[in-house]
Amino acid sequence: MKTFKSIFSWIIPIVIGLAIALLIRQFVFTMARVDGPSMEPNLVNNERIIAWRQAKIKRNSVIVFNASGVDPDAAANTSFTKRILGTAGTDYVKRVVGMPGDTVAFQNGKILINGKVVDQGYISKTEQRKGTEYEAQPGNWDLKSLSTNWSKDNGAMKVPQGKYFVLGDHRSVSNDSRYWGFVPQDKVIGVVKTFPWSTTKQQRENVNDRS
């Protein structure tokens, strides 16, 4: 009996600690790792980041989202354990460019939101221009022209309510909304924040201060 009580005396605190950690991960924040070059130079491959689940999403926020069911090439993975532990392998990191209700267009090397040129000082001039073109139709584009190649939201002229238009910062290599469409709000895991010891001041400004 004493042995039984002794075992439970250290098992219960461990179980409670794990439960608290899982709750924090599910509802407050989760750790994530950048995979690939699509957010360079502001986020780099293998960089550790935090995704705040309750943070408000705004234009220029960098977000982590589950791409299963969004990008047709992202493998579906509905395992509860893998989703909770963040090992599903279908989480993407991108920057919100278009908010619900926005029109988004690329004209003469500039991004226009609701007809107005927006500041893209967080990426190079090359990525703002040539990198932002759409492979299937080099030159100018808008949501309607992009959507002809999407599996959903064909003919969209504005970002639908409850969805976002996202782009990678390294757009010439990024697989993003240009190719498969909008990100539903319920797919968003959280808003990205970086660690001060692993980033430069400029990187923090381009991610943390714009999110």
Question: What is the SS3 assignment for 24?
Answer: helix
171: part of which helix (H) or strand (E)? none
Q: Is the pTM of this model over 0.85?
A: no
**H/E stretch holding 20:** helix 2-27
Nearest CA-CA partner of 96 in 168, 198, 21, 180: 168
pLDDT at residue 204, rounded to an integer? 87
Judge contact between 59 and 114, C-beta under 8 A.
no
Between the alpha carbon of residue 139 and those of residues 95, 107, 128, 155, the distances in Å are: 21, 8, 12, 19
Q: Which residues are catalytic?
A: 38, 94
pLDDT in tens, 37-65: 999 999 999 999 999 888 899 999 999 99
Give me the mean pLDDT over the 111-120 stretch. 97
Q: Which residues contact 36 (CB under 8 A, 6 or more apart)?
A: 45
CA 134 and chain centroid, separation? 19
What's the pLDDT at 70?
A: 95
Fold of 31-207: Umud Fragment, subunit A (2.10.109)
Name the nearest CA neighbour of 117 among 96, 46, 109.
109
Q: Where are the domains of the chain?
A: 31-207
State the DSSP H helix or E strand holding residue 85, giving kind and residue range, or none if neither. Answer: helix 80-85
Check: CB of residue 77 under 8 Å from CB of residue 89. yes
Split at pLDDT 50, 70, 90, the class of 74 is: confident
